[in-house]
Amino acid sequence: MIALGLEGSANKIGIGIISHSPSKPPVILANLRHTYNAPPGEGFLPKETALHHRAWVVRLIKQAIHQAHITLADISCICYTKGPGMGAPLQSVVLAARTCALLWDKPLVGVNHCVGHIEMGRSITGAENPVVLYVSGGNTQVIAYSANRYRIFGETLDIAIGNCIDRFARTLLIPNDPFPGYNVEQLAKKGTHFVDLPYAVKGMDASFSGILAAADVLAKGLDESLPEDKRLKTEDGELVTRADLCFSLQETIFAMLVEITERAMAHVGSKQVLVVGGVGSNERLQQMMGIMARDRGGSVFATDERFCIDNGIMIAHAGLLEFQTGVTTPLEESTCTQRFRTDEVYVGWRD
């Protein structure tokens, strides 16, 4: 079976084609993506992002089919991101998916974006039954599988961790190309001074809005036009740099994630952690999670930017898993939603 997947829940439009065969690993036939980048200091707005997706979706579908060396007759189903995500971009993608389904007479499958990340991560890494840390621009959740559902053990109480990083990048006017989180990560590698920031773990949940607010206030002290006595300094009197603040932000928020993930591992008795979502490509997060897991006699699984960052192949893969259990989305029900929780999906393809 072959599925075409369309992803466009945020600023990336992704088209993927995947093949499933009995008793064989999935085969990725095509995985194309194009990103809408706003100017430095600005975030991507829904309207402009949706227009970007509409401008690129047809050419990416054509390129993906050409790259996969298949015909339209080979495609078993059309999979699209039902949610969660930004309303206007989601609508642009579901419109394209409906159009393809009608033109080619193919069944539709609406896919939960979060489940797409999890299933792609499991397939690529081979993780068997891990605790999943799902971290992206719009989501922060600690998840474990039980009784045909991905159960949420902890999550953000306000903004997602990726949103926290992205918004701080805007404060420092860090470029959005290739993406703000990557540029913050590169700056953080040059940081040498740790600046105290609020640490907000509440049970199994975390809060990032207060940390962002505190970091924004501290960032005002980086202005080189300020008098020397007004500049932000360490306790030793050394000037704090942009790199120091990026380093401090990462260390604080990643430590919070490690804490709640370790608690979930202890609860479910798992020794494996699977990190998925765009922030999951951060090397420092993978390193910190690895230290914790090794101390528990466990291991960490993560993918590279091809599969961590939003992509069409994860939607094709998860959608095909659903399709193989008999799940389809009737045309009149092929809607999208900004709020679609991970634990709402019945995971009929797992024991």
Taking the C-alpha atoms of residue 115 and residue 119, their distance in angstroms, rounded to an integer, is 6
280 annotated ligand-binding residue: no
Q: What is the dihedral angle through the alpha carbons of 246, 252, 253, 256, rounded to the nearest 10 degrees?
A: 170
Nearest of 194, 224, 199, 218 to residue 210 by alpha carbon: 199
- Angle (nearest 5°) at CA 350 between 126 and 323: 100
Taking residue 263's Cβ as centre, other Cβ atoms within 10 Å add up to 16
User: Does 5 appear as a known binding residue?
Assistant: no
The verdict on whether residue 19 carries a ligand-binding annotation is no
CB-based contact 145:121 (threshold 8 Å): no
Q: Which two tokens stand for residue 319?
A: 């959608």
Tell me the residue type at 285: L
Pairwise CA distance, residues 211 & 253, whole Å: 8
C-beta separation of 274 from 130 below 8 A: yes
3-state secondary structure of 162: helix
Contact yes or no for 116/315 (Cβ under 8 A): yes
8 Å CB contact between 197 and 252: yes
Q: Is 223 annotated as contributing to ligand binding?
A: no
Query: According to the annotation, is 136 in a ligand binding site?
Result: yes
Question: What is the Cα–Cα distance from 55 to 34, expressed in whole angstroms?
Answer: 11
Rg of the chain over CA atoms, in angstroms? 21
Is 277 labelled as part of a ligand binding site?
A: no
Check whether 209 is labelled as a binding-site residue.
no
Rounded Cα distance between 21 and 5, Å, is 17
Q: Does 181 appear as a known binding residue? A: yes
Task: Mark the binding-site residues for substrate, compressed into ranges.
Answer: 134-138, 166, 181, 185, 282
Task: Mark the binding-site residues for a divalent metal cation, compressed into ranges.
Answer: 113, 117, 134, 310
Task: Mark the binding-site residues, compressed into ranges.
Answer: 113, 117, 134-138, 166, 181, 185, 282, 310
